[in-house]
Amino acid sequence: MYTPQVTIRQFSISDYSEVRALELNAFNEDNSTYYIELYQFFPDSFYVATVNNKVVGFVVGLVTVEKIGRIFSLAVLKDYRGNGIGRALLKKIIDVLERKGVMKIRLEVREDNEVAKNLYKSMNFKEVDIIPYYYKDGCSAIVMEREGLLWMNY
């Protein structure tokens, strides 16, 4: 099996056009300007995966005022899926958010997205709620949560 040499690193503004293209590739929609707004508030919660300096995946997270971690978006370029890149990005953002002391991490996923639900379940996310008609096409969202570690600051 072909195993690409993957690097996970923090997003930088020069990655923007590649992230935008990847967003369109993965979701057929473009929320990339919103990601840039989030990046301005949470520059250390936006990561990209690269192979030979090409951006092949990204993950965007944030911490709410209630100290809840949110994973806002996760995507891998179609041709690079099934190589562990999605899991590596997810592990990275979980680590970053938990180090910030979040009580839990929450995300929404399409009810029909079995691949993503499998990935999240395998990383100890549990289905806690359902939001009907959450997506533009009427698909429901499954809300998933993972209990965070409590980091003590002395």
Ligand X SMILES: CC(C)(COP(=O)(O)OP(=O)(O)OC[C@H]1O[C@@H](n2cnc3c(N)ncnc32)[C@H](O)[C@@H]1OP(=O)(O)O)[C@@H](O)C(=O)NCCC(=O)NCCS
Query: Taking CB under 6 A as the rule, does residue 113 contact ligand X?
Result: yes
End-to-end CA distance of the chain: 47
Query: Taking CB under 6 A as the rule, does residue 109 contact ligand X?
Result: yes
Query: Taking CB under 6 A as the rule, does residue 131 contact ligand X?
Result: no
Q: Which of 111, 47, 127 is nearest to 85 (CA)?
A: 47
Nearer Cβ to ligand X (61/86) = 86
Query: Taking CB under 6 A as the rule, does residue 94 contact ligand X?
Result: no
Concerning whether 120 is annotated as a catalytic residue, the answer is: yes
Binding test (CB under 6 A) with ligand X, winner from 32, 45, 50, 83: 83
- 37-75 burial by CB neighbour count: b if 16+ within 10 A, else e? ebbeebeebbbbbbbeeebbbbbbbbbeeeebbbbbbbb
> Shortest approach of ligand X to residue 40 CB, angstroms?
22
* Contact stretch for ligand X (CB under 6 A) within 1-9, 40-48, 74-82, 93-101: 74-82
The sheet with strand 126-131 has its strands ordered as 6-10, 46-51, 54-63, 68-76, 104-110, 141-147, 126-131
Question: Which positions are catalytic?
Answer: 108, 120
Residues at the site binding ligand X, with contacts judged by CB under 6 A: 26, 74-76, 81-87, 109, 113-116, 118-119, 122
